[in-house]
Amino acid sequence: MNGSGKTPKRDYLDEVRKLWYKFSLNKMSVVGLGIVALVLIVSVFQPLVAPYPTHIGAVVDFKNANRGPCADYWLGTDTVGRDIMSRIFYAYRGAFTMGLGVLAATVPLGSVLGMMAGYWKGRWFSTFIMRMTDIFLALPPMILALCVCSILRPTLFNSLLAMCVAWWPWYTRLAFGMTTSLRNEMYVKSAELLGASKPHILFREILPNCTGSILTKATLDMGWVILTGATLSFVGLGEQPPLPALGTMVSDGAKYLPAQWWLSIFPALAIMIIVLGFNLMGDGVKDMLSGEE
């Protein structure tokens, strides 16, 4: 940082090892990481690992329709004979796209807005930004996303967009809270006295101290974004048929309860598994970045 240009070269391998040690202290977070990695692999390599990779589209195979879980179709087939497992694998792609897309857009934007509002607290635009977040936070994110989604054409991209509208204020509020307490720290004051530029203070002095909390929240939020995305697709706002979406599969399958229970129960479990994975992993990330030795 300032004036200490001659710090000894950091041993990155050692740091990674230290971080991994802290992460793996809690065995459940390793399980979470495993779940997320596994799901990521099956969704990315869906054409290779799925037993019937073509069943994601408008394929019809009435001979094998409505079959329960069996050796050929581990999770059964739907009303037109498509393999549920292959469809779930593909639907995970949409879930990941949703999660990564929403967070990639909202985390940087929300955090920078929050840091600026926090650093210049008291100025008119800080007040303006924070009042805006209050307004957006006055509705449950799902309702806001539903609202925005309902006026757009139902596509995966549009539901992603709607989720972004609902999600950024959470990061703004988090970064705002942290920055308002950090801006009076000695090292920030010294940087100011030394005449450091505002971007330097914001991004080199304040931001590194916020990344832990922001990353932790982002990991946990992956789960929530996927869950909310599934909720949107449950009412038909998301990836459109014939392509599969987790929520759509649950709502379509619910019509055939209880006889064809596998139609809705397996996609429902699929949602639970991925959200659980990110939650467990988030706890590990929290331990890893909390800064306690």
Contact positions toward other proteins, by CB under 8 A?
A: 131-132, 134-136, 138-143, 146-151, 223, 227, 230-231, 234-236, 250-251, 254, 257-258, 261, 264-265, 268, 271-272, 275-276, 279-280
Here the tokens at position 186 are 């000695």
Choose between 41 and 254: whose C-beta lies nearer to other proteins.
254
Which of 250, 252, 246, 255 has the alpha carbon at shortest distance from 275?
A: 246
- Across-strand partners of 77? 83
Closest approach of other proteins to the CB of residue 36, in Å: 13
Tell me the HSE value of 97 on the side-chain side, using a 13 A CA sphere: 18
Closest approach of other proteins to the CB of residue 210, in Å: 18
Choose between 146 and 206: whose C-beta lies nearer to other proteins.
146
CA dihedral 267, 268, 271, 277 (to 10 degrees): -110
What is the rounded distance in angstroms from the CA atom of residue 84 to the CA atom of residue 278? 23
Closest approach of other proteins to the CB of residue 167, in Å: 14
Choose between 220 and 288: whose C-beta lies nearer to other proteins.
220
Closest approach of other proteins to the CB of residue 141, in Å: 8
For Cα atoms 69, 73, 77, give the angle at the middle one, nearest 5 degrees.
75
Which of 13, 278, 78 has the alpha carbon at shortest distance from 286?
A: 278
Closest approach of other proteins to the CB of residue 275, in Å: 4
